[in-house]
Structure 1
Amino acid sequence: MSRILDGTGTNNVVRFALGIRELTYPKNLTLKMVGCTDVAELVPHEPMPWTGEGLPPVGMVCEIGCADTWTECLIIAHHQHAGVGRAIYTYLLPGAGIEVNWCIAAGFRPIRTPEQIEAEERENAIKGMIADTNILTGIMSDRRIMAGQLYDSGYRKQVQP
């Protein structure tokens, strides 16, 4: 960052030397200088609740999807480009440190509860059981019920060494 400018009204503005030229962030963040350098840190206060609809609020810890994986991230700002809202976020990239990126609303989801994770794992296991059986006769709902009962009874596919 090259310079920090204090804004007036409801928003503050940060000007960057590279990349995003101007970033607007709400007053629920505190801009804190780090040492005697031009590095600044946005420190979130309590984020507003988020249901998963639209952009996650600034300060929210949520998940960003990339390919088939989800990574925990922190929303640090919102940005408009060509009329489309984007959330700017930070995340930990293993082996590289903290990265900053942006995404539209569809790329984010709330952090799942343990119950949601368990239900997703159960559903994936049931789909796998049905696919592994190669049984083409019978009603699909019956196969789902049987696979669900097997899963609930503790059946798990053993990985071959």
Structure 2
Amino acid sequence: MSKIPEGTQFIEAGCGEKGFRKFEKGRWWFFEDFWRHVDWKMGALTLVTEHPDYAVPATLWTGEGVPPVGIEIEAMLQGLSSSGTYAWRRALVVHGPLPDSQGEVLVFDVETTRPSWVDEFRPVRTPEQIAFESRDNAVKEMLAVWNAGFEGHVKDGLYALYDSNYRKQVAP
């Protein structure tokens, strides 16, 4: 296997030269000299970007514009609970924007594989960025507690922080 048809997003295991697949317009397609709609169950699929025969260095995306197909991003997706809340979750981009919705891309949630069209996305954060964001949020919470409990004496603010369980935690 050396040449990959344009638009291929997945490789189906055990199909040789006929294992090229894509998900487009709400349907699965396979390539056999041209792209055709598939209406049967497919075997195990591997992203083109992760397949050993076709993997190429991932396209660097800085967060400007829409992310390219095939990379992992963080997208604002519905949470796992039925509460309807949304949160930043890791996702794979499997389709670029459609002509009528230039700012949306189709992603598969990395954890649930649930597909979703999203218009809020960002590059995957580094561990350092996540730690900084966590620290920054904790400081903002402490500042809110401090301001609410501070009535003229520093000690009052410190008591408020202590009462809100802002103490150094022992690391395991």
Shift of 1:113: 1.0
Shift of 1:74: 0.8
Shift of 1:81: 4.0
Cα separation, 1, equivalents of 2:109 and 2:94: 11
TM-score (norm 2): 0.53
Cα separation, 2, equivalents of 1:56 and 1:81: 15
Shift of 1:87: 1.4
1:99 to 107, 111, 114: 114
Gaps in structure 2 of 5+ consecutive residues: 9-20, 30-34, 50-54, 78-84, 153-157, 168-172
1:157 correspondence with 2:166: yes
1:61 correspondence with 2:72: yes
Shift of 1:118: 1.3
1:82 to 97, 100, 105: 100
Aligned match of 2:143: 130
RMSD: 3.6
Aligned match of 2:133: 120
More strand by share: 1
Contact 1:47 1:58 in 2 (8 A): no
Shift of 1:157: 1.4
Q: Between Structure 1 and Structure 2, how many residues are aligned?
A: 116
Cα separation, 2, equivalents of 1:120 and 1:15: 35
User: What percent identity do the matched residue pairs reach?
Assistant: 30
Q: 1:39 to 1:86 in 2, by over 3 A?
A: farther
Q: 1:61 to 1:136 in 2, by over 3 A?
A: farther
Correspondence 1:9-48 to 2 at 5 A: 10-11=6-7, 14=22, 20=26, 37-39=40-42, 41=45, 42-44=47-49, 45=55, 46-48=57-59
Q: 1:14 to 1:113 in 2, by over 3 A?
A: closer
Query: What amino acid sits opposite 2:115 in the alignment?
Result: V
TM-score (norm 1): 0.56
Gaps in structure 1 of 5+ consecutive residues: 1-7, 24-30, 32-36, 138-146, 151-155
